[in-house]
């Protein structure tokens, strides 16, 4: 009876010791799990932040592309306006040249008339 009590006590002691080890191990695992959760939360925040920054960069790129398209459009309009102005300039220069020729001819005619008039 004594030996069976002693054996039972020894088994209980081993069982308690194993339980203690298991409890300590569970606490370690729980602690590690909490650390992993914190790390995952931190990483998730980083990912969210990076996604936000990426979205901002993409939005900026879209804005810049729109600006570039807009500027290209205005440049095209300015080139067309310049072509129109150059054409008008050419037409006005031609009209001016024609007018100068007419004035020269009219002056020559006036001189002829004056010469005839003065000569009479």
* Residue labelled with tokens 């007419």: 102
pLDDT of residue 2: 65
pTM score of the predicted model: 0.52
8: confidence class by pLDDT, cuts 50, 70, 90:
low
16: confidence class by pLDDT, cuts 50, 70, 90:
confident
More confident residue, 15 or 66: 66
Taking only the tens place, the pLDDT of each residue in 40-77 is 999 999 999 999 999 999 999 999 999 999 999 999 99
């Amino acid at each position: 009876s004594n030996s069976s009590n002693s054996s039972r006590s020894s088994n209980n002691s081993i069982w308690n010791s194993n339980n203690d080890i298991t409890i300590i191990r569970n606490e370690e695992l729980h602690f590690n799990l909490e650390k992993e959760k914190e790390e995952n939360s931190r990483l998730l925040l980083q990912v969210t932040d990076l996604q936000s920054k990426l979205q901002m960069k993409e939005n900026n790129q879209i804005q810049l592309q729109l600006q570039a398209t807009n500027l290209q459009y205005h440049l095209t309009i300015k080139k067309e306006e310049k072509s129109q102005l150059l054409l008008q300039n050419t037409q006005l220069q031609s009209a001016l040249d024609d007018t100068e020729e007419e004035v020269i001819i009219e002056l020559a005619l006036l001189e002829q008339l004056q010469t005839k008039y003065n000569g009479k």
